[in-house]
Chain A
Amino acid sequence: MTGTESHLEAPDQPMLRIPKSAHPTPTDAVRSSRRIPVLAFAGILLALIAVLVVGTQALGWFGTTGQMTAGSGERVVPAAGADTAEIKGWMSLQQVVDAYPVSQAALYARFAIPADTPLETTLSELKESGASSLDVPTLRSWIDDGAPASS
């Protein structure tokens, strides 16, 4: 049943009478269309997203942290001379010093890191503690610009 049919006789289902005072805005010509069951449509879209997420997870494309992991599940630390774009917040100060041409003393001095900060401290921990001005983008730029490799 569509709205284009009239129902002047007693109907079988609950009906609404369009009041004479009603003046709905006329609808224009539209392309041929078909109704979609709302809940089925929503269900299909949600399933589509779930398949996409699970599929990319299975393929290893759905990284949710900056950590790259090897097949063994070990964190992959950038090799010496690696691109500074691979510096991530999970890396420790020691790993930065080992992988990039920067000395510990210069690193501590540039970012005002307290001298008693252990080298095992991660960049994220350092930033969250507020003990240093260090942040990853600045660190990358500093190394790219030629950070001192020895103090």
Chain B
Amino acid sequence: MAATFVPRRSASYARRVRWSRHGVQTLIVGWIAWVVWSKATAGPGVASAEAFCPFGGFETAWTWVTTGTTVAHVHTANLVLAGAVVVLALVARGFFCGWLCPLGSIQEAIRASAHAVTSRAPWLRRTGHAIASQMPWWPRVDHVLRYGRYVVLVWAVGGAALTGVMVFREVDPWNALLSVAEFEISTAFVVLLVVLGLSLFIDRPFCRYACPLGAVQGLIGMASPVAVQRDATACLGCQICNNACPMGIEVNQATRVTDTACIGCLECVAACPSQDALALTVTFPTRIPIRTSDIDTSDIDAQEGAMQ
């Protein structure tokens, strides 16, 4: 029997989820800023913020396994954090991206700032919509560009394994951000500017199209039993979840959100007005049929019609 009324999700729930995540993101960004400052003021011998990037662990993995050493700029901390990301992805898919990655947090903050501005300037919003309406081809381009991060992954890991040098480092916006105090105009710095600029218009552009660490987590996360699950009998069909998703996943089309792009931010769950439509769930090996399209709703429709 389908529902005609469903419980409303409390606004405080959304606030708790969002503020918890933003709180963690702020702490991580603050801590990284402190590490960068320490390094800049204390010089060699002090931990570099690069040592806390898990992707360095993936880049050096082959060299470490075959020679017992790491490539330049990578330390054992990177390997430990890479291992932690593997565990996190197996348990919770893209949790690292959604809750911990400082570069993702900065892109989100820029996008939120742009939203705040456009919400106060209707002419800007109208202009944006007008431009978007002239780009009907964009969803197809967006779809193709999303494969870019797998290309970057192969190039970065393969290049480091073959040459013993972190080839991705030269264009890595994260590396440029950590070196921003040096005011060095490098290729990576240009990439960083492009990423931050695009963040004004696109949610998490680097995460969507170019982040090799996100690609790794997406692939490993396919084995995770945890995912956001949708119950169509409580779904309003409003698509608020789609609009809330920073990775552009069509949550309203899924039963379980197992898209490799999912960053586990839970914005879709927080945004959903129906308490039971979206929830974070863990699956068990047994299968139970809950195909809602098979549920007979004729009696409810009849009652609803009588009430009107």
Bound CA–CA A88/B286 (angstroms): 53
| Cβ proximity bits B221-246 to A, threshold 8 Å, 1 near / 0 not | 00000100111111111100000000
Interface locus among B146-154, B203-211, B290-298: B290-298
Query: In the complex, are the beta carbons of B8 and A89 less than 8 A apart?
Result: no
- Is the CB of A4 closer than 8 A to any CB of chain B? yes
Most buried by A among B3, B21, B43, B277: B3
- Is the CB of B17 closer than 8 A to any CB of chain A? yes
- Is the CB of B6 closer than 8 A to any CB of chain A? yes
- Is the CB of B113 closer than 8 A to any CB of chain A? no
Pick the contact of B164: A29, A42, A56, A137 (CB < 8 A): A137
- Is the CB of B274 closer than 8 A to any CB of chain A? yes
Query: In the complex, are the beta carbons of B236 and A22 less than 8 A apart?
Result: yes
Query: In the complex, are the beta carbons of B281 and A52 less than 8 A apart?
Result: no
Q: Which residues of B148-182 have CB atoms within 8 Å of chain A's CB atoms?
A: 164-165, 182
Query: In the complex, are the beta carbons of B8 and A16 less than 8 A apart?
Result: yes
Query: In the complex, are the beta carbons of B234 and A30 less than 8 A apart?
Result: no
Bound CA–CA A3/B1 (angstroms): 10
Query: In the complex, are the beta carbons of A42 and B21 less than 8 A apart?
Result: yes
Bound CA–CA A25/B95 (angstroms): 26
- Known A-B contacts: A18-B2, A22-B237. Give 15 more (CB < 8 A): A3-B276, A20-B304, A22-B235, A23-B237, A27-B231, A27-B290, A31-B283, A36-B282, A38-B17, A38-B280, A46-B99, A52-B83, A61-B76, A62-B76, A65-B75
Query: In the complex, are the beta carbons of A24 and B235 less than 8 A apart?
Result: yes
Q: Residue of A at shortest CB range from B286?
A: A32
Which residues on the A side are within 8 Å of B279 (C-beta)?
35-36
Q: Which residues of B16-53 have CB atoms within 8 Å of chain A's CB atoms?
A: 16-17, 20-21, 24, 43-48, 51-52
Q: A52: shortest Cβ distance to chain B, in Å?
A: 5
- Is the CB of A90 closer than 8 A to any CB of chain B? yes
Bound CA–CA A21/B293 (angstroms): 16
Q: Residue of B at shortest CB range from A124?
A: B44
- Is the CB of B199 closer than 8 A to any CB of chain A? no
Chain B interface helix/strand/loop/mixed: mixed
Q: Residue of A at shortest CB range from B288?
A: A32
- Is the CB of B271 closer than 8 A to any CB of chain A? no
Bound CA–CA A26/B231 (angstroms): 8
Query: In the complex, are the beta carbons of A4 and B20 less than 8 A apart?
Result: no
Query: In the complex, are the beta carbons of B232 and A18 less than 8 A apart?
Result: no
Query: In the complex, are the beta carbons of B80 and A62 less than 8 A apart?
Result: yes
Interchain residue pairs A-B with the least CB separation, the first 10? A3-B234, A64-B47, A24-B235, A26-B293, A64-B51, A24-B237, A7-B5, A85-B69, A22-B237, A3-B276
Query: In the complex, are the beta carbons of A53 and B276 less than 8 A apart?
Result: no
Bound CA–CA A25/B253 (angstroms): 6
Pick the contact of B232: A2, A27, A33, A39 (CB < 8 A): A27
Contacts A16-B8, A29-B288, A42-B21; A62 near B87 (Cβ below 8 A): no
| Cβ proximity bits B71-88 to A, threshold 8 Å, 1 near / 0 not | 010011100110110011
Which residues on the A side are within 8 Å of B7 (C-beta)?
1, 7, 11, 13-16
Contacts A64-B75, A125-B44; A18 near B3 (Cβ below 8 A): yes
Q: Which residues of A47-104 have CB atoms within 8 Å of chain B's CB atoms?
A: 48-49, 52-53, 56, 61-67, 83, 85-86, 89-90
Query: In the complex, are the beta carbons of B288 and A3 less than 8 A apart?
Result: no
Q: A126: shortest Cβ distance to chain B, in Å?
A: 11
Contacts A19-B236, A24-B232, A65-B45; A33 near B281 (Cβ below 8 A): yes
Which residues on the A side are within 8 Å of B134 (C-beta)?
none
Contacts A3-B6, A65-B47, A137-B72; A52 near B84 (Cβ below 8 A): yes
| Cβ proximity bits B85-122 to A, threshold 8 Å, 1 near / 0 not | 00110011001000110000000000000000000000
Q: B40: shortest Cβ distance to chain A, in Å?
A: 11
